[in-house]
Chains A and B, each alone.
Chain A
Amino acid sequence: MSKTRGLAEVIVKFHHMLPDFTPHSGASSASQQQFLSLFLRSEREIFRYVAALVPNLADAEDIVQQTALALWAKFNAYDPARPFTPWACRFALNKTRQWLERRQRWQALLEQGLAEELAQRREELQPQLEARLKHLESCLGALPVAQRSLVQGYYYERASIDALAGRFSRTEAATYKMLQRIRHDLRLCLEGHHQAEVV
């Protein structure tokens, strides 16, 4: 059976696919690999940073994708002596702002400085977020099978709501509602574990 393909291998393979292309920007494949390895390490953190502002997953992913392109374009300005994630998050904030320009609804959520405030407060809250979220796996494990399977379908498989509604024989609205309830239960479970630790 096939093994995990390393990033380097992917790149090498891709080069092979385009034998007629020759690099004419100054970038070397070494810097490209360096970028990819840094980005892939920070990617989840960047995603969560963006999602704190635009929680809709598909939208957050779009923004991260645009951020990745901007980061690569400006990678020669990156100082390897400094941490990558904060540098990347500044780009992510800019990309989020650009993305908002065309979306009035989301502007209404983040207007009057709330975007910046959320980003800053989230950083301050990091230890408290971590203290709770470290229990997420055990809280997930404690969910009844059907609920766990729905969470997995939505967050992991990224199945559409209408597919999940079909799978669980519910309406789409009921499926959304059920997801909301599961998150609520998880939230209570995290808090329960956390309080138990504190006491």
Chain B
Amino acid sequence: MKLEYPSPEFDETIAAVCHGEADEARMRALNHLLRSNADARDEYLIRIELHSRLASEPDLFSEGADVSLEPLAAVSRAVPPAPWRLTEMDHRQSNPNHGSSERATRAMDRTWILALAACFILLAGIFSLLWLKRSEPRNGTTSKAVAMLARTVDARWVKQPTPPRAGVALEPGWFHLEAGLAQIVFYSGARVVIEGPTDLQLISSSEAVCPTGRLLAEVPEPARGFRIKTGQLNVVDLGTAFGLETDHGQTEVDVFKGEVELSAKAAAVQALREGTAALVVGAGAAQFMAVRPDAFSNMLEFQQRSLAAEALRYDQWRLKSAQLNQDPFLVVHFDFEGLSPSDSSLKNAAEKTALVQDAAIVGCEPAQGRWREKPALEFQSVNDRVRLAVPGAFQSLTLSTWVCLKGLDRQFNSLVMSDGFDPGTIHWLIRNDGVLGLTVFGTGSAEYQILASPPVIGVDDLGTWLHLAVVLDGKANEAVQYLNGVPVSRRTLKIRPPFRLNSVELGNWNARRDPGSEPSLIRNLSGSMDDFEMFSRALSQAEIRDLYSSGKAEP
């Protein structure tokens, strides 16, 4: 094989090299050409540089574009994307001639691996890459979702195989709303109401395309940089609220609050301030005028109604929560109310029992809970955990919590796990296949019972608030697990009471043995927790359903 420069074969060979697909003959032919032709060599270097620059400069891509498009959602959308990602080496080292499918090898935050690498050489002396790699098992569950459909009014979708329902995660792609209103919450935090007929294409958690239709965007500070493209314009939001109306020939942008940046295809970037609107027809220059709130009144009203409905719902839950705190069987209640980033402890809100003191927060960050104003606690790194001590032995017990999962990154993702494997203690977790798992330990060292639900948590459940509960009933010898108020597993208990929690962690697990010995011992949760209760009795199905219905985000 012989290569010429310039030639289509030269171009193809470079592409094949970039993708790792070129065979030996091709590689050798390229070698000959590059050594004998200085122009070909320089052109090769420029093209490869373009390729490696694209791979190593995340800033080239829209700000905040979401890492959660891929399984490493765990790394969290709030953490800036890694400039490039280190891949799972153990997997590919055993396959030096890997093909394209292995290109999909899962990835992780590079900072982490470097910290891990450095720490391990530092701390352990012996260092095994293999261990490192396996210590971060990523499963194959993927979510490409970039937004969520929050609510709709009389929405009629067209060209949609299955019309999206409120609460579902939305992946990049086209949405055609023929009539009605729909609110889409992007994972960047931007909230967009669209009014039919509107065509909207979701690109990433911070970008959408709207060739035709009407929308109202509300963009909080963290989502600054959110952008919408129309036929005429790029609209970049600088933390604000704006309305947009576009048809194939023209685009109008009305800024109700804050400021946006407009850029037409040929023209320079223009700032558009609060109270002003711009109309761009065809390729012409923008005409400026005062905003026309009446043109967006339906959507403004919808936005306001949804805000008011949210606040009302939150208030109702608070009332319910205050009543719950008076329950004499409520041992622990973390409501995460008033949580701030500097907090290192969680107050137990249960008022009638004094069994459990406050809990310690290790790592973690406050996050948005079920309602905009409601704090929750976000677990994301392998260290994040809430530790507490629950003394006592219980004939029966009930655990209940709200979680919003980012991913099921570990084989076992901890909800509530007692330290180690002590008699009578429990491990409550979500497996990476979506199974809710409960392990109850008996008195003998090999005596335990694993109670597993069918796989009930799917990719579509990621990013939405789920209510989970487990009831251990020592009298009826029964363990029941619930998802969103509905029993998903009911099993006879073989382990006899009393049950204990002892030293226990939420969102993580303390194995209490050599942490380097077994990679699967990392069991941290990736997601947020909002509300956690432990009762010293078995709640009935009706009571669990009530916890769910009074706590869910929308009535």
Contact = CB atoms under 8 A, between A and B. Distances in A.
Determine if chain A interacts with chain B.
yes
Interface in A48-92: 48, 51-52, 55-62, 64-65, 68-69, 72-73
Given A20-B514, A44-B84, A109-B17, A65 B112 contact: no
Contacts, number: 277
Contact of A25 (B56, B115, B122): B122
B294 interface: no
Central interface residue in A25, A56, A62, by most chain B CB within 10 Å: A56
Given A69-B129, A129-B49, A145-B201, A140 B60 contact: yes
Central interface residue in A15, A51, A118, A190, by most chain B CB within 10 Å: A51
Secondary structure at the A interface, as helix, strand, loop or mixed, is helix
Interface stretch (B308-316, B320-328, B377-385, B414-422): B377-385
Given A1-B368, A61-B85, A152 B61 contact: yes
A103 B24 CA distance: 10
A195 interface: no
Interface string A23-62: 1110101001001100110011001100110011111111
A65 B11 contact: no
B23 interface: yes
Nearest to A26: B122
A186 B42 contact: no
Interface in A136-184: 136-137, 140, 145, 149, 151-153, 155-163, 167, 172, 176-177, 179-180, 183-184
Contact of B31 (A69, A72, A111, A184): A111
Contacts of A4: 78-80
A121 B114 contact: no
Interface stretch (B98-106, B239-247, B430-438): B98-106
Interface stretch (B86-94, B460-468, B529-537, B539-547): B86-94
Contact of A160 (B21, B100, B172, B204): B100
B319 interface: no
Contacts of A132: 46
Given A158-B107, A184-B11, A21 B124 contact: yes
A25 B189 CA distance: 45
Contacts of B515: 17-18, 20-21
B34 A183 contact: no
B100 A186 contact: no
B46 A129 contact: yes
Contacts of B34: 114, 117-118
Contact of A52 (B48, B119, B127, B516): B48
A62 B383 contact: no
Contacts of B497: none
B70 A158 contact: yes
A158 B85 contact: yes
B118 A162 contact: no
A183 B86 contact: no
Interface residues of A, number: 96
B528 to A, nearest CB: 10
Nearest to B119: A14
A117 B34 CA distance: 10
Interface string B115-147: 111110111110101000000000000101000
A188 B48 CA distance: 14
B163 interface: no
A2 to B, nearest CB: 3
A156 B65 contact: yes
Central interface residue in B48, B80, B142, by most chain A CB within 10 Å: B48
Contacts of B35: 112-114, 117
Nearest to B522: A17
A113 to B, nearest CB: 8
A170 to B, nearest CB: 14
A160 B101 contact: yes
Interface stretch (B359-367, B448-456, B476-484): B359-367
A196 interface: no
B23 A23 contact: no
A55 B18 CA distance: 5
Contact of A57 (B25, B58, B84): B84
Given A58-B105, A129-B49, A105 B27 contact: yes
Nearest to A35: B118
B55 interface: yes
Nearest to A2: B365
Contacts of A155: 54-55, 61
Contacts of A199: none
A13 B28 contact: no
B115 A11 contact: yes
Interface in B485-507: none
A16 B11 CA distance: 51
Interface in A92-131: 102-106, 108-114, 117-118, 121-122, 125, 128-129
B111 A48 contact: no
A2 B383 contact: no
A55 B52 contact: yes
A157 B80 CA distance: 12
A153 B55 CA distance: 11
Given A140-B60, A149-B203, A167-B172, A62 B87 contact: yes
A57 B107 CA distance: 12
B112 to A, nearest CB: 7
Given A18-B515, A40-B114, A43-B110, A159 B70 contact: yes
Interface in B31-80: 31, 34-35, 41-42, 44-62, 65, 67, 69-70, 76, 78-80
A112 B32 CA distance: 9
A183 B47 contact: yes
A2 B339 CA distance: 13
Contacts of A11: 115, 118-119
Contacts of B51: 51, 55, 183
A39 B12 contact: no
22 contacts: A1-B78, A11-B115, A21-B516, A25-B121, A47-B84, A51-B48, A52-B49, A52-B52, A55-B52, A58-B87, A58-B92, A58-B102, A68-B114, A125-B45, A152-B62, A155-B55, A157-B70, A158-B85, A160-B104, A176-B19, A180-B11, A180-B12
Given A16-B383, A48-B52, 4 more contacts: A10-B381, A11-B119, A18-B119, A104-B24
Interface of A: 1-5, 7, 10-11, 13-18, 20-25, 27, 29, 32, 35-36, 39-40, 43-44, 47-48, 51-52, 55-62, 64-65, 68-69, 72-73, 102-106, 108-114, 117-118, 121-122, 125, 128-129, 132-133, 136-137, 140, 145, 149, 151-153, 155-163, 167, 172, 176-177, 179-180, 183-184, 186-187, 190
Task: Give 5 nearest A-B pairs by CB, closest first.
Answer: A160-B104, A56-B20, A2-B365, A51-B52, A180-B15
